[in-house]
Amino acid sequence: MTDRVYINAVDCDGNPLSLSVRDGRIAALGAEPPAAGAAQVIDLRGHLLLPGFVDGHIHLDKSFVGGRWRPHRPAGSLRERLAIEKEELAAAPPMQERADALIAQAAAFGTVAMRSHVDVDATTGLVNLHAVMAAREKWRGIVDIELAAFPQAGVMSCPGTAQLLEAAVREGAAVVGGIDPSTLDGDADGQLDCVFGIADRLGAKIDIHLHEPGMEGVAQILRIAERAQALGLAGRVAISHAYALGDVGLQALDEAARKLADAGVAIMTNAPGDRAFPPVLRLREAGVRVFSGNDNIQDSWWPYGNGDMLQRAMLIGYRSGFYTDGELLTALHMASHAGAQVLGLEGYGLQVGNEATFVALPAPNGAAAVAAAPAQRFLFRKGEPVGEAATVFGVVSPAA
């Protein structure tokens, strides 16, 4: 039996779209409304339907969302910034509460999955990881949260961190992280030996924060790609930020892009506001998977952000100079399907057989949604209208 039929929606290209739901999954979809039979019929009144968003890079342990506003405090160095962060987090509400508040906010905007980097090093141990894991439990089945053990303070330069990264993976972190192997750690080979060694032994994915600029950063990208290819880790390695790809000339960029594509290494960018970032279209043309995330949200690093991945897609398009519909849809793909592929989500997207979880927005197509990032969202999970959606979209014909 079909539980519900949703009619009069539009797809990403603005074409008519209707779908039927049975047992929480999409049973049929297309331009013509499927036969309703005894099912409830819900008129979506021309709203755009999108799959839930995927935040490929967020820091649930750092945000002050759920607590009081904290004015940003400038810092003169990375180490000074880390000291400020520790001081402010110690005075903030419990981490589990703040993580829960940020997940709730992101979910309300339509996020259904995320990769959260969580600080794991010799100064914090596994405390942050355990707090975020506890917050994650509340959202299981609603928001799919993949955890990355992130050595914020360094690996080789922070003795004991290597052992804790391995412990974090054994306790449930699916991803092992790294950070600026040369400029922060001073030992690129040592850090990469550690990170890739853990991934190889324990079957973890890899996601390395790389802020190193220019050709120094490109050299790190090439090292990471070579190691990923040598270990057969295609599709399991990502580099977050990779600012260097926006610093260098086309020859160096294209060489790095070829290496990344050959090795199956993905690039995450949030299009940060104060510096160059990877050229999205040129990397994608070379076959590199490029995805997006919000990164830090209202924390010690910067005051911006609200967890809305559609707004992040708009910012990526804005900073990239995306004007055509095709380019705007690229930004949307980065905030949805590309991130889902990197996280390895199964059954994601508006396709027959997949879970009937989607977002309805007042927009004529996907490009328009990215350009305007309308704040109004109506959520549907497993075929059920959630919250406001249940009152706004009434049943046209009740079940017999």
Q: Which residues are catalytic?
A: 241
Measured between alpha carbons, how far is 14 from 142 in angstroms, rounded to an integer?
28
Alpha carbons 228 and 226: distance in angstroms, whole number = 5
Q: How do the residues of the chain divide into helix, strand and coil, expressed in percent and rounded to 5?
A: 35, 25, 40
- For residue 290, list its beta bridge partners: 267
Q: 40: which strand partners?
A: 4
Question: How far is residue 234's CA from residue 230's CA, in Å, rounded to a whole number?
Answer: 10
DSSP per position, 98-110: HHHHHHHHHHHTT
For residue 2, the 8-state DSSP code is: -
Distinct helix (H) and strand (E) counts, the chain: 13, 17
Contact 18, 29 (CB under 8 A): yes
Long-range CB contacts (within 8 A, 24+) of 15-19: 17/49, 19/49, 19/350, 19/356
Q: Please say whether the beta carbons of 338 and 290 come within 8 A.
A: yes
Q: Are 269 and 242 in contact (CB under 8 A)?
A: yes
